Structure formats: structure tokens, C-alpha cells
Amino acid sequence: MSDDRLDAILEVLMSYARQDFSPRLAVSERRDEVDAIATGINLLAEELDGEVASRRELESAYDRLKTTQAQLGVAEKFAAIGQLANGVAHELNNPAAWVLLGVDAARRRLAHVRGLLGSDGPGAARVAAELAVIDDALTDAHAGMERMRAVINDLRTLSRADAEVPVELDLDEVVRSACQLARPAYLSVARLVLDLGSVPPIIGDRGRLGQLVTNLVINAAYAVADSSNEHEIAVTTRADGDDVVLAVEDSGPGIPEELLERVFEPYFTTKPSEVGTGLGLALVRKIAESHGGTARISRGTRRGARVEVRIPRARCETPAPPPASPQSVVRVGARKNRVLIVDDEPMLLRALASAIGDSHDVVTALGGQAGIELLAKDRAFDLVLCDLQMPGVDGVAIYESLASSAPALLPRFVVMSGGAVTSRAAQFLDKVRPCMLDKPIDIDQVLAVAADPRAHT
């Protein structure tokens, strides 16, 4: 065996030892022992090359499966959080509703007392001063409840399930709600700058887009958290041709050029392991792409990172759904109407009855079963105000009962809802689209509907 042929065999074997199975040995026309060894090594290399390729494919598939499982796990957690948030919003809405109604009723009666008091008589000035203090306290309480109402509405906006069917939505509305809920993350570290451009509607999943915005704002807050300087997080929206563009930019240290694309890789994170999972921006890109859009990162004008998400605008406008609020359709009348209120919360029943009882004849039913039993004996109502979700017999069941026994009442059936927590309630609202009052209920809306129930038929 010549030294040259032996060196060639050793060189090829060394390549194989380095997991490089591409080199092959030349086989001469002599067909001697060296050629036989070379042929055997070449055949072995073919098998090894195939096995390595298969192993690499399996490893790649396994990595993709791990990534998908992790993303599904995060998505499931967000879905669970969304359901929990919707439930929390629903539970908060009822007490918030009766507190708001009570405060509003107290303020109205206080104004009436002030009118009766006048400015004459001994001690009138002192009484007026005391009434002013009470009025200020009620005004503060009302402002606090209005803030709670806004938070509840934000929770409902982001937890609203679109049943995996994309809907036309306003991205600016989603951004406002997401930024409000992410407020604890940035409040102590940066000033939020919102520059929303009244963008055209898009087609998408409200909850997933809310998750996208929340991830971006929280990421930006983390980027500036370790600095003592004054920082800003800027969130902007604008229309650009056929796209709606969302950008979130911070004034932090930014991301090194060589890592700009890696930040979208699953599990890649610059945060400590106890803080970051490396899936936040990966999910942002995945959500953007699932909406037919893109996500990219660059250095922003504030020196920090800028993430820009592009989503196609809605191609054609869908018909607007029937108005959910009676404000734009109710004409206030003067006739005293007979109103049935059905709810499973005793305090809310009392608050509603007190709010409209001076102007109308009010009958209340505590719970859905009591409502059905009362309606079986007495249907002489100008308006039925009914809670949507109650234990046992809910508002859907009452509506269905009236549809078969007293369909003439259906146009005067108004739903009160703190959020469709169950799929049954959500399907009812989507199919029937009844006139609806959102909880916490505004007293002016209740008075307007009670004054002229037929105006929204």
C-alpha cells in the first residue's frame, strides 16, 4: 500500500471523526486491496451520512416541537388569564354598578335638597356648606368609580374571546386598553407617550393583539427599569398604504446590532432566567404573522429599541352591528312606564329601583326563576330590564321563554351585562343582538330607556 493512498484514507477517516461524511475515497481500475478498503469506507460513509442527516432532522423537528409546545403553553396561560380577567370583570361590575347608581342617586337628591333649602332662614349658610362638603365627597367617590369602570372595560376588551373568528376592530382601542393594563409595569420607570393616529379598522383577534401590545410595552418597561434617568415609552399607530403600523419605542440602551434578529428567536432572551422566558418577542412576531403582518426591530429615535408591527387594513368595511347602547336612539318621553327589573343581586335591584322609582312604576324579581314566574302571571310591562348571567335561570332562558309565550315583549327586552363569561351568553349576544346596557350601568342610560322603551325597537 503506497503512502499517498494511505494518507488519503487517513485524511478521509479524520473528516469522518469530525462528523463530516462528505469526502469520498477514489477507487482505481486496479481493484486491489486498497480499492476494496476505499469502497467499504465509501459505503460506510453513505450510511453514516444518511443516519446523521436523519438525526439532524429529528433534532430539528424536536426543537420545533419544543418551541411549539412552549408557545402553546404560553397561549394557554394567556387564555386562562383572559377567562379569569373576564370573570373578575363580571364579578366587579355588579357591586360597581350599585355603588355608581347609589352615588348618582345621592347626588341628584342632594341637588334637590339644596334647591328646597334656598338661601333664607337661620343656619342656611351653614347647612349649605355642609351640603357642599357632602357633594364634594360624592363627586370624589363617583370619579373613583368611573376609574374602576374604565379598568373593568379594559379587562373586558382584552379578555373578550372572538371564538377564533377574526373580526373587524379598532387597533387604537386595543392599544389603549393594553397600555392601561400594563400601567403597573411602566408607571415607576418611564413616562408613556401615546400617539394614536385614528387608523382604519383591521381584521383580527382582539385578545391576541392585546397580548402583542402588552408584551411590547412590558418589554420596553424592562429595558429602562435599571436606569435612574428619566425615560419614555412611545406607542404610536399610523396608516401606511394598505397597512396599519404599530410601533413601540423606548429610550433604553437598545439592542446590539448583531442581536437584532435573534431577539425574535424562541428562548432567546437578554433577561435573567427568573424574569424572561425568551418567548415574548417570538410570540409578537407569531401573532403579527398570523394576522398577515410582520414584526421587525431596529434602533429608534430615542436611542433605544423600536419594534414595528405591520398588519393589513381591512379590505372592505363590514356593516356596523346594531347599536348596543340606547343613547343614540332613545327619545325621552313624559309618560310614566311600568318596568320589570330582573337580577340576582339584591343591592343592584334596590339601587336600580331607587334610581328610576320616582319617575316610573318599578317591579323587581330576585333571580331568573322569580322573573319567569312573575312574567307567567303578569306581562303588562313597558320595559323588561334583565341581567344576562344569573345562576340557574339566566337572561337567555327568560328571553327564550318570552319568545314562545309573549313575543310582543321581546322588542322591550333590554339586557344588562357585566361581560359574557360563558359561551352560551356570548352566542346569544352574537345571534340576537339585543339592546344592552353595560355594567356598571349609567343612570342616565337607564332613565332614557325607561322613559321611552319603544324608541330602541
Q: At 382, which CATH number?
A: 3.40.50.2300
Question: Sign of torsion, CA 133 139 142 143?
Answer: negative
Residue 291 lies in a domain: yes
pLDDT at residue 323, as a whole number: 44
pLDDT at residue 395, as a whole number: 93
pLDDT at residue 43, as a whole number: 83
User: Measured between alpha carbons, how far is 257 from 266 in angstroms, rounded to an integer?
Assistant: 18
Residue 101 lies in a domain: no
256, 281: one domain: yes
Q: Which parts of the chain have pLDDT scores under 70?
A: 1-3, 67-91, 93-94, 118-123, 147, 149-165, 226-228, 266-280, 316-335, 419, 421, 454-457
292, 171: one domain: yes
Q: Which of 72, 107, 123 is the last residue of a domain?
A: 72
Q: Which of 286, 312, 338 is the last residue of a domain?
A: 312
pLDDT at residue 241, as a whole number: 92
Range of the domain at 32: 3-72
pLDDT at residue 197, as a whole number: 87
201, 254: one domain: yes
pLDDT at residue 293, as a whole number: 94
Residue 105 lies in a domain: no
pLDDT at residue 83, as a whole number: 58
297, 388: one domain: no
User: Measured between alpha carbons, how far is 440 from 98 in angstroms, rounded to an integer?
Assistant: 8
Kindly state the helix (H) or strand (E) to which residue 5 belongs, with its residue range: helix 3-17
Residue 435 lies in a domain: yes
266, 341: one domain: no
pLDDT at residue 253, as a whole number: 85
Residue 117 lies in a domain: no
Q: Backbone phi, then psi, for 349, in 5-degree steps?
A: -60, -45
349, 306: one domain: no
Label residues 226-241 b or e (16+ Cβ within 10 Å = b): eeeeebbbbbbbeeee
Kindly state the helix (H) or strand (E) to which residue 243 belongs, with its residue range: strand 243-250
Residue 245 lies in a domain: yes
CA angle centred on 403, ends 342 and 374, rounded to 5°: 35
Residue 413 lies in a domain: yes
| Structural domains of the chain, count | 3
265, 209: one domain: yes
178, 271: one domain: yes
Residue 137 lies in a domain: no
Q: Which of 42, 72, 102 is the last residue of a domain?
A: 72
370, 430: one domain: yes
User: Measured between alpha carbons, how far is 453 from 457 in angstroms, rounded to an integer?
Assistant: 8
